[in-house]
Copies of this chain bind each other. A is one copy, B any other.
Amino acid sequence: MNPRGQQARSPRPGEAVRRPTVQDVAREAGVSPSTVSRALHTRGYASPDVRDRVRAAAAKIGYVLDHNARNLRSRSSTSIGVLISDLRNPFYADLAAGIEEELRAAEYQMVLVNDNGDPAEEMRAAETLLAMRVPGVIVTPVTAACPRILQDNGVHVVCADRELGRSGSDVVLSDNKAGARELTEHLIGLGHTRIGLLIDETKWSTGAGRLAGFRAAHADHDLEVDENLIAFTSFDAGAAQETTRRLLNEQHVTAIISANNVLAQGALAELKERRTKVPRELSLAAYDDVPWMSLVQPALTTVDQHTVDLGRNCARLLLARIRGELPPRRRIVRVAPQLIVRGSTGPVPKG
């Protein structure tokens, strides 16, 4: 039966509504409030008979638990903070989707905050989550201070996608080095020796790992990396396009790898503008597969990070921590990425 489904009339929208409490249910069922609490929610004992009676009474009067009261009293909460940089980026959206899915299945709620990659916003968000007394937070950190402050206040933290400094928190990472290495090797295998790398940062484990993989693949094949082919840009499609332009104008390259999906947009836009034939004249590959990459012509060769799965892993790990199922030492989960070869990479052009 629906809570308040039997109300005679609907209140005006937003009108203050007196919600039934445990007391009311207790009266209705002819038991004590404590018994109601046990019967409905907590682990304590209640006989099947009482349990049924209480359930019926609760449904009858449209009782809904008050999470605030429960959280306050029991010093716990089923809300989990999720702190990401930008929901409009499919990477973060997929991550959040995976997290949400797993949390929902475990009867937890997701409080999602965007920090736009801004340290100040991130810190504000952390304080808000602290105020909500969430038992755990999943964060794609911008600053090491954020995980730290959360942990210092007794909140479990899982860092997703990257780690900053020695936070000591659990972390779920994609194996960026392995993925980038495999992708680079794929190009080297096609004969490319002058491969441009479009990348925005190497301070975080993410960019650093991808760059390391790029270098490792070269080393494996006794190729020297021409440092001029590592094109630093900023995390923005427009900037990436500009950087791609400069790279193509100033250097001879036969293939380009973009370090993430945003940069790939810029690179592709530039190639489109130049009417470059891909892969005949130039091969293009990207890290971080997102849906549009298989829709463009030719479809892009990419590394799939299994982002949704990454999110699920974050949530699972965090929940296990919260439940105290894990030994104290910090856990590092690595999700293996997967190379997906599509049409945008081909043999090195002759001549």
Looking at A72, A148, A155, A321, the one whose CB has the most chain B CB atoms below 10 A away is A72
Q: Chain A: how many interface residues by the 8 Å CB criterion?
A: 79
Task: Verify B88–A112 contact, CB threshold 8 A.
Answer: no
Q: Would you call A163 an interface residue if the criterion is a C-beta within 8 Å of the partner chain's C-beta atoms?
A: no
A295 with B265, Cβ < 8 A, contacts A79-B111, A155-B14 known: yes
A135 nearest in chain B by CB position: B14
Residue numbers in B under 8 Å from A321 (CB-CB): 13-14
Which of A3-11, A172-180, A191-199, A332-340 has 4 or more CB atoms under 8 Å from chain B? Answer: A3-11
Per the bound structure, the CA–CA distance linking A4 and B145 in Å amounts to 12
Residue numbers in B under 8 Å from A16 (CB-CB): 75, 154
Task: Verify A65–B131 contact, CB threshold 8 A.
Answer: yes
Task: Verify A297–B295 contact, CB threshold 8 A.
Answer: no
A308 with B88, Cβ < 8 A, contacts A14-B155, A291-B265 known: yes
| Complex interface bits, A94-130 against B, C-beta within 8 A gives 1, otherwise 0 | 1011001100100001111110000001000001101
8 A Cβ contacts from A160-197 to B: 168-170
Task: Verify B265–A2 contact, CB threshold 8 A.
Answer: no
Per the bound structure, the CA–CA distance linking A328 and B324 in Å amounts to 49
A269 nearest in chain B by CB position: B295
Q: Would you call A64 an interface residue if the criterion is a C-beta within 8 Å of the partner chain's C-beta atoms?
A: yes
Task: Verify A156–B13 contact, CB threshold 8 A.
Answer: yes
Q: Would you call A19 an interface residue if the criterion is a C-beta within 8 Å of the partner chain's C-beta atoms?
A: yes
Which of B4, B5, B131, B296 contacts A67, CB < 8 Å?
A: B131
A100 to chain B minimum Cβ distance, whole angstroms, is: 5
Residue numbers in B under 8 Å from A4 (CB-CB): 149, 152-153
Task: Verify B5–A154 contact, CB threshold 8 A.
Answer: no
Per the bound structure, the CA–CA distance linking A187 and B10 in Å amounts to 47
Q: Would you call A230 an interface residue if the criterion is a C-beta within 8 Å of the partner chain's C-beta atoms?
A: no
Q: Would you call A61 an interface residue if the criterion is a C-beta within 8 Å of the partner chain's C-beta atoms?
A: no
Q: Would you call A132 an interface residue if the criterion is a C-beta within 8 Å of the partner chain's C-beta atoms?
A: yes
A14 with B133, Cβ < 8 A, contacts A64-B127, A104-B113, A110-B111 known: no
> Could you tell me which A residues sit within 8 Å of B by CB distance?
2-5, 7, 10-17, 19, 64-69, 71-72, 75, 77, 79, 86-88, 90, 93-94, 96-97, 100-101, 104, 109-114, 121, 127-128, 130-133, 135-136, 145, 148-149, 151-157, 168-170, 265, 268-269, 272, 291-292, 295-297, 308, 321-322, 324, 328, 330
